[in-house]
Amino acid sequence: MTNSNYQQYKDFKSGMVAIVGAPNSGKSTLLNHMLGQKIAITSKKPQTTRNRILGILDRPQAQFIFLDTPGIHQAEKPLNVRIVDTALTILAEADLVLVMVDAAGKNKTSEDFLVDKLKSHKGDAILALNKIDLIDKTRLLSLIQSWSKVYPFKASVPISALKGTQVDELIDVMQQALPCGPPLYPPGSLTDMPERFIAAEMIREKVFHLTGEEIPYSVAVTIESFKETKENRLIEIQATIHVERESQKGMVIGKSGAKLKNIGEAARKQIQRMVGCKVFLKLFVRVQKNWSKDTKALRRFGY
């Protein structure tokens, strides 16, 4: 680093912040709110996030590299084991850990498992008690006190990721805990995830939102082609929705193709907002029998 750069970043802070928590604790909702833009998919169904999602937040004297992780829990199925391994690997590499807890939930088994894994982390950890809009505020103090007994958090901040309550205060607390150093990414960067990856995630999110309870956990999405025609500013995308059984294929397609059309239309609009131009989206549905238990299929689908 040159002397001029050193002077510029002398009081600057930057670092990797792992957002960890039990399934459905609101990690992706918080990331999207902090960035002011959607890069991580969300739903009320647990294990929506399957990969690590990186989001970058620039502040005048800090740069946060947020790593949204899959929900940490005691996993048994091959897909879930890989998902949890991803989260634990990120936990070990982070400069700062943000532990998200659903203040209104009943995830004690998963939270106990997470705290046990957290003990191997040598850096600071901050507690975010999420979904405080859903509980009696008189319970907050006792919740914070009970969590302070199970782990030495540097700070505890009650928030509502959905409504944005006290999120700015949480960011201020995290900034104080970041290590000193220059930005790790060029200012103005949002993520390191390619657009085709985010597009696949957006399609999968719409499957989560528009199908029944059985379908989401059996779905993977691959992008077969992602082409931009510069003449008319159009991106053409072909994607495949993979399911595990023929009956699921019928549920995703729907009567006369109506369900698949709705999924495609909703995903196309969201992808257009991301890329800033028109999108032509063509969806296919393919049966990959028991893919979530197949090591080769898991690797091919990026897990």
Which domain-ending residue is among 147, 177, 207?
Answer: 177
Counted domains in the chain: 2
144 in the same domain as 79? yes
User: Looking at the structure, do residues 30 and 165 belong to the same domain, yes or no?
Assistant: yes
List per-residue pLDDT tens for the chain, 303 residues long: 444 455 567 789 999 999 988 888 899 899 999 999 887 767 666 566 666 788 999 999 999 999 887 777 666 677 767 767 777 777 878 899 999 998 887 666 677 778 887 877 778 999 999 999 988 888 888 889 988 998 899 999 999 999 999 999 999 999 999 999 999 999 888 888 889 989 998 999 999 888 876 666 788 899 999 998 877 689 999 999 999 999 899 999 999 999 999 999 999 999 998 888 999 999 999 999 988 887 887 788 776
In a domain, 275, yes or no: yes
- Co-location of 86 and 211 in the same domain: no
Provide the CATH number for the domain around residue 252: 3.30.300.20
Q: Which domain holds residue 279?
A: 195-300
Q: Are 23 and 73 in contact (CB under 8 A)?
A: yes
Does residue 183 fall inside a structural domain? no
**167 and 232 share one domain:** no
Q: What are phi and psi of 286, to 5 degrees?
A: -130, 140
| 152 lies in the same domain as 217 | no
Q: Which domain-ending residue is among 151, 177, 203?
A: 177
Give the CATH number for residue 7. Answer: 3.40.50.300
Q: Alpha carbon 18 to chain centroid distance? A: 11
